[in-house]
Structure 1
Amino acid sequence: MKLKPLGDRVLVKRLEQEEVTKGGIIIPDSAKEKPMKGEVIAVGPGKLDDKGSHMKMHVEKGNLVLFNKYAGTEIKIDDDELLVMREDDILAVIEA
């Protein structure tokens, strides 16, 4: 299935968090927090301004992003857990 976000929404796939700390301690699934980093899978056309034109989005497909802890709505498509969130919920783009 293919999804195209509407407006200023972004489709993000969470990145997996490390299971072992630097000290070698293994963290069980029940103690892990959900990661706040992810990869942008798809981007909507942007918000409409007063003139009816789409405003340019600041993120694009393939960007690694940092987002709010409780951002977005979780959805499951083809066994992938994804988040649909507004661009405003994205805090930063992670540059390599």
Structure 2
Amino acid sequence: MADLKLRPLDDRVVVQPLEAEETTAGGIVLPDSAKEKPQRGTVVAVGPGRLLESGNRGEVSVALGDLVIYGRYGGSDIEVDGQEMKILRESDILAKLL
């Protein structure tokens, strides 16, 4: 999503959530009401980093295109150009998938 007209501030990261699972591991199709909110997504924008007391910026440990896992209730849900997005602080990201 190269044309994203959104620039996060400080240590915030914009993530595009992956789609919720449609079926269980056993093949049962889930209705919309039973689907869990996704906790994985792709990083589509990264802020410049947290401002440190020294006046320098702290380095953000995720980059554009990284696949990340975040807390279930972390961040803020927004809609940009008809796409669901999530703005998270870097500390809300639990892991980066390799």
Give the TM-score, by structure 1 length: 0.95
- Within 2, Cα distance between the matches of 1:21 and 1:33? 11
Partner of 1:54: 57
Aligned residues: CA RMSD:
0.9
SS at match of 2:28: coil
Identity %: 51
Once the two structures are TM-superposed, the CA of residue 22 in structure 1 deviates from its matched residue by: 2.6
SS at match of 2:51: coil
Once the two structures are TM-superposed, the CA of residue 17 in structure 1 deviates from its matched residue by: 2.2
Q: Which runs of 5+ in 1 are unaligned?
A: none
- Asked if 1:85 is matched to 2:88, the reply is yes
1:6 to 9, 14, 26: 9
- Within 2, Cα distance between the matches of 1:33 and 1:17? 7
Point out 4+ residue stretches in structure 1 off by more than 6 angstroms. none
Equivalent pairs counted in the alignment come to 95
- Asked if 1:22 is matched to 2:25, the reply is yes
Q: Which runs of 5+ in 2 are unaligned?
A: none
- Within 1, Cα distance between the matches of 2:41 and 2:15? 6
Give the TM-score, by structure 2 length: 0.93
